[in-house]
């Protein structure tokens, strides 16, 4: 985890963000057979990052991101990221877990790949994901897919450090809300 996320999660000791074990990712993905992943057809020059959000060691959900090189871009920033799957365990839905996964994974990728990526995109099949990405300045593309919203965040004209600061504030609010919702759920 980046130093900023380590500091942020220190305020929420019951929550943790980690690189997900492949077994956990596969288990959660099997419960959602309708989800379509771009990682099913990864090229040799692509990488996949999978993060898990847990509460006291109990996984709440995972998010996967695919990082690919665009060989048609000769610049140092010749990689793009695809926010691929956001999967939240059914027991923990509507508690902000998906939003926390999205914002924290974006922070992780922005910090680790800031000098190498020019764009982050997503094909969202859920209205909540679409709305949240628009709140994070993702721009809609003309619809090509019938049941999906397609959007991207063009990083070529954005200062990554400014974006990281903005996203850190949003992540703190999101984690506060998710933490309080989980506390309420666990108190029932």
Residue 123: per-residue pLDDT: 86
Distance of CA 150 to the CA centre of its chain: 15
The domain spanning residue 155 has which CATH number? Answer: 3.40.630.30
CA distances to 118, 144, 184, 185 from 168, rounded to whole Å, are 20, 32, 24, 25
**Residues whose CB is less than 8 angstroms from the CB of residue 170 and which lie 6 or more positions away in sequence, other chains included:** 103, 135, 136
| Residue corresponding to tokens 């809300």 | 177
138 φ/ψ angles, rounded to the nearest 5 degrees? -70, 140
Strand, coil or helix: 130: helix
Per-residue confidence of the chain (188 residues) as pLDDT tens digits? Answer: 889 999 999 999 999 999 998 889 889 988 887 777 776 666 555 688 999 999 999 999 999 999 988 888 888 888 999 999 999 999 999 999 999 999 999 999 999 998 899 999 998 888 899 999 999 999 998 766 677 889 999 998 889 899 999 999 999 999 999 999 999 999 98
Report pLDDT for 22.
83
DSSP 28-56: HHHT-TT---GGGG--TTEEEEEEEEEET
CB 2 within 8 A of CB 171: no
* Token pair in block for residue 84: 């691929």
How does the average pLDDT of the chain come out, rounded? 90
Q: Say what the pLDDT of residue 138 is.
A: 95
What is the pLDDT, as a whole number, of residue 44? Answer: 53
- Return the pLDDT at 9: 97
CA angle (151, 153, 155) in 5-degree steps: 155
For the whole model, what pTM was predicted?
0.91
Residue 124 pLDDT: 86
Using the structure block, give the residue that is written with the tokens 């926010």. 83
Give the pLDDT of residue 45: 54
In the three-class reduction of DSSP (H, G, I as helix; E, B as strand; rest coil), residue 188 is classed as coil
Residue 80 is part of which domain span?
A: 3-187
CA distance 1 to 151: 26
Given this model, what pLDDT does residue 144 score? 66
Domains of the chain: total: 1
């Amino acid at each position: 985890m980046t130093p900023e996320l380590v500091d942020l999660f220190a305020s929420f000791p019951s929550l943790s963000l980690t690189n997900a074990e492949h077994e956990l990712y596969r288990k959660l993905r099997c419960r959602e057979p309708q989800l379509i992943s771009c990682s099913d057809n990864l090229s040799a020059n692509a990488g996949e990052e999978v993060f898990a959000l847990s509460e006291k060691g109990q996984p709440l959900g995972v998010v996967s991101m695919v990082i690919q090189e665009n060989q048609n871009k000769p610049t140092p920033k010749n990689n793009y990221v695809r926010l691929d799957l956001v999967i939240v365990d059914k027991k923990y839905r509507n508690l902000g877990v998906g939003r926390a996964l999205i914002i924290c994974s974006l922070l992780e990728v922005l910090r680790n790949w800031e000098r190498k990526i020019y764009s982050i995109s997503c094909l969202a099949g859920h209205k909540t994901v679409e709305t949240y990405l628009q709140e994070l300045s993702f721009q809609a593309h003309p619809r090509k897919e019938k049941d999906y919203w397609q959007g991207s965040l063009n990083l070529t004209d954005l200062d990554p450090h400014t974006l990281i600061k903005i996203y850190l504030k949003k992540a703190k609010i999101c984690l506060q809300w998710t933490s309080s919702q989980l506390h309420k759920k666990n108190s029932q």
